[in-house]
Amino acid sequence: MNVCDSDMLDSVFLAYGASKVNNLSEADVVILNTCSVRVQSEQKAFSYLGRVKEFKQKKTCIKIVVIGCMAERLGHNIKKRFNSVDLIIGAKDIDNAALRIMNLFCTNYSAKKVNPEIKSEIVRYVTIMRGCDNYCSYCTVPFVRGREISINYETIVNKCSSMVKNGAREIILLGQNVNSYQYEDINFASLIKKIVTIENLERIRFITNHPKDLSDDLVKIMATEPKVCSHIHLPMQSASDKILKAMNRKYSYEHYLKLIKKLRTAVPSVSVTTDIIVGFPGETNEDFENTLKAVKTIRFGGLYVFRYSPRPNTTAAAMIDDVPFEEKKRRHAIILKESNKISIEIVSEMLGSIQQVLVEEIKNGIIKARTRTGRKVFAEGRKEYVGKHINVNIKEAKINSLFGDIV
């Protein structure tokens, strides 16, 4: 979501005539787009602010802007801690952020019409909904991003079409819970049906899905529509029913397993990836072992594992954070090790196979592409391949990337 918001800002700035630079000494403004999901993300943002503050003592004209969820959550308290910060724009006000930032330098930008769709990258993100209504007990998102609002499907389809006209070949639909999309009588599956009709669009992906809302319609469209990629991110969080209940996830592990079976039956090539939290309040070793067992049974295509950290205002923040940090670290490392082992096995099975990939970019003669399941593939190639489907014979496999020769 943050990558998408930064991308959107980037386009607007480009249209205003501003450009991105790679180091502070060339910059007029530093924009820090922040995340509040875990305590570590906020700590990272604060330490970065410490570094730019020092820089600002040398280059006093540089402006510092903090945007996103941490800006929403902490607002002017950030300024109290860092008086070097010039402007704070919360996640809910992101839409007019670029204009407010430009106005730090000159006040007549409001008159200028901008076309933010001038980027010509192969893969583009499109936000289809904002906020979240699920109130998982550990999660700050409903507080910092607000209530769930689905964006008008016509706006979405027009945006996708204009991106494709500008060269995009893959669209990634984004939302905290895309499968609960509903605008008038259009649900997520019907939205996809509209988007697949866009000529020259090759692929559609979407992130992220809540297991309680995964409909048969969506599974069916994944099975039948060739433009929809064989990848689904379906956060499990835990495989202990007691913990799932305390997390307010509204499904059981058995229900989750049924969904996996349904997906794999309908789309045999599907790669299911997930999120897991370890060390949630009350998570015993037995609860954790159940999650580890599920990781071994399900064999996810990849996973993100997080150590639980209490977030202000959430229901879980009132629970006793009783799993010691060292134990959270231990559980985190065990899940990661198991997941890496499984990933190595999955990618090793791809050795010698021919994979159809979509080429996203080329750097120094090496193309970067992705399989339909979302795995990165690198090969020697030419500029003409960018935006095209090609076949690659896989010669080398690492956890996060495959290498091969174009056939």
Binding window for ligand SF4 (CB under 6 A); candidates: 14-22, 131-139, 276-284, 305-313: 131-139
Name which of 122 and 132 has its Cβ closer to ligand SF4.
132
Check residue 150 for interaction with ligand SF4 (CB under 6 A): no
Alpha carbon 371 to chain centroid, angstroms: 18
Check residue 13 for interaction with ligand SAH (CB under 6 A): no
Position among 50, 75, 112, 135 found at the interface with ligand SF4 (CB under 6 A): 135
Query: What is the DSSP-derived secondary structure letter of residue 228?
Result: B
At which residue do the structure tokens 């386009």 appear? 11
Sort 36 into a burial class: Cβ within 10 Å, 0-12 / 13-18 / 19+.
Answer: buried
At which residue do the structure tokens 């020092």 appear? 54
Check residue 141 for interaction with ligand SF4 (CB under 6 A): yes
Residue 311 binding target from ligand SF4, ligand SAH, none, CB below 5 to 8 Å by type: ligand SAH
Which is nearest to 91 in space by CA: 139, 141, 133? 141
Which x/- pattern, by CB under 6 A, does the window 207-246 give for ligand SF4?
Answer: ---x------------------------------------
At which residue do the structure tokens 């991105």 appear? 20
CB of 119 to ligand SAH, least distance (A): 25
The C-alpha atoms of residue 228 and residue 225 are separated, in whole angstroms, by 6
Which is nearest to 65 in space by CA: 38, 35, 39, 102? 102
Token pair of 199 as six digits: 């000529």
Position among 11, 176, 187, 355 found at the interface with ligand SF4 (CB under 6 A): 176
Q: Distance of CA 299 to CAs 244, 260, 294, 303, 397, Å?
A: 20, 10, 8, 10, 17
Check residue 208 for interaction with ligand SAH (CB under 6 A): yes
Position among 235, 301, 302, 387 found at the interface with ligand SAH (CB under 6 A): 235
Token pair of 200 as six digits: 């020259």
Check residue 139 for interaction with ligand SF4 (CB under 6 A): yes
Position among 52, 70, 74, 139 found at the interface with ligand SAH (CB under 6 A): 139
CA dihedral 162, 168, 171, 176 (to 10 degrees): -80
Name which of 84 and 137 has its Cβ closer to ligand SF4.
137
CB of 136 to ligand SAH, least distance (A): 6
Name which of 139 and 359 has its Cβ closer to ligand SF4.
139
Position among 45, 136, 189, 386 found at the interface with ligand SF4 (CB under 6 A): 136
CA dihedral sign of residues 330, 322, 295, 249: negative
Check residue 65 for interaction with ligand SAH (CB under 6 A): no
Binding window for ligand SF4 (CB under 6 A); candidates: 73-81, 120-128, 138-146, 337-345: 138-146
Contacts of 111 (CB under 8 A, 6+ apart): none
Residue 135 binding target from ligand SF4, ligand SAH, none, CB below 5 to 8 Å by type: ligand SF4
Check residue 38 for interaction with ligand SAH (CB under 6 A): yes
Question: Strand, helix or coil at 180?
Answer: helix
Residue 142 binding target from ligand SF4, ligand SAH, none, CB below 5 to 8 Å by type: ligand SF4
Question: Strand, helix or coil at 35?
Answer: coil
Residue 274 binding target from ligand SF4, ligand SAH, none, CB below 5 to 8 Å by type: none
Q: Distance of CA 400 to CAs 12, 113, 171, 231, 370, Å?
A: 32, 41, 21, 15, 11
8 Å CB contact between 275 and 235: yes
CB of 108 to ligand SF4, least distance (A): 39
Contact positions vs ligand SAH (CB under 6 A): 37-38, 132, 138-139, 141, 176-177, 208, 210, 235, 237, 275, 277, 306, 308-309, 311
